[in-house]
């Protein structure tokens, strides 16, 4: 895609409610291009966005209810990236997904982070640390800790950060 680089786009936690069930996927993904009056070949941009989230071109003519939760989340990501935004805000983007789909979305976001700035909002500090070099920990809307992911994960200073880390699932020690 050409460098549109338009402001901010968002991906929300629930792809079921963030995708209009009456619109075909092509129209959903093209929405930012139309609303921002971006002069481009919309069909080509939609095809490229679908390819970038690993969905087939024929997905464009289908409706959201025809897809799994992970596929719907990828459609939402395609809509967010089609205009080549400078920043993508992803709010609890993997919280409702199964583990296999989470891994796929993490890989997708990792490749996306090479082209644009990602801001991830999540209670899953492990997920955020996989994708971000720097973390900002908020409690009730206030910054309680910030710094490199490595520093925060290895030596959390604030009790809320420790609670977030303690809530991260771990395999039991069988040794």
Within 13 Å of residue 125, how many CA atoms lie on the same side as its CB?
26
Distance (Å, whole) CA 136 – CA 160: 12
Answer whether residue 12 shows pLDDT above 90.
no
**Topology adopted by domain 1-122:** Rossmann fold (3.40.50)
Which whole number is the average pLDDT over 91-96?
A: 82
- CA 29, 30, 33, 34 torsion-angle sign: negative
**Per-residue confidence (pLDDT) for residue 69, from 0 to 100:** 86
Q: pTM score, two decimals?
A: 0.81
Matching residue, tokens 């139309």: 34
CA distances to 32, 95, 104, 121 from 136, rounded to whole Å, are: 29, 19, 24, 10
With cut-offs at 50, 70 and 90, classify the pLDDT of residue 21: very high
Q: For residue 125, what are the CA distances in angstroms to 66, 77, 142?
A: 32, 21, 16
All CATH 3.40.50.300 domain ranges of the chain, comma separated, are 1-122
- Cα(173)–Cα(138) distance, integer angstroms: 31
Instruction: Give the pair of three-digit tokens for residue 139.
Output: 């409690």
């Amino acid at each position: 895609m050409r460098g549109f680089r338009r402001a901010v786009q968002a991906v929300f936690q629930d792809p079921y409610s963030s995708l209009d069930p009456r619109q075909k996927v092509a129209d959903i993904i093209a929405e930012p291009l139309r609303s921002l009056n971006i002069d481009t070949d919309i069909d080509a941009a939609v095809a490229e966005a679908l390819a970038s989230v690993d969905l087939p071109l024929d997905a464009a003519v289908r409706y959201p209810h025809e897809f799994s939760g992970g596929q719907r989340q990828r459609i939402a990501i395609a809509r967010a990236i089609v205009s080549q935004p400078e920043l993508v805000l992803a709010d609890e983007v993997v919280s409702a997904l199964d583990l296999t789909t989470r891994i796929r979305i993490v890989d997708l976001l990792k490749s996306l982070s090479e082209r644009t700035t990602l801001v991830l909002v999540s209670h899953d500090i492990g997920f955020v640390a996989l994708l971000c070099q720097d973390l900002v920990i908020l409690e009730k809307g206030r910054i309680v800790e910030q710094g490199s992911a490595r520093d925060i994960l290895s030596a959390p200073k604030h009790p809320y950060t420790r609670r977030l880390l303690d809530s991260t699932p771990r395999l039991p020690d069988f040794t």
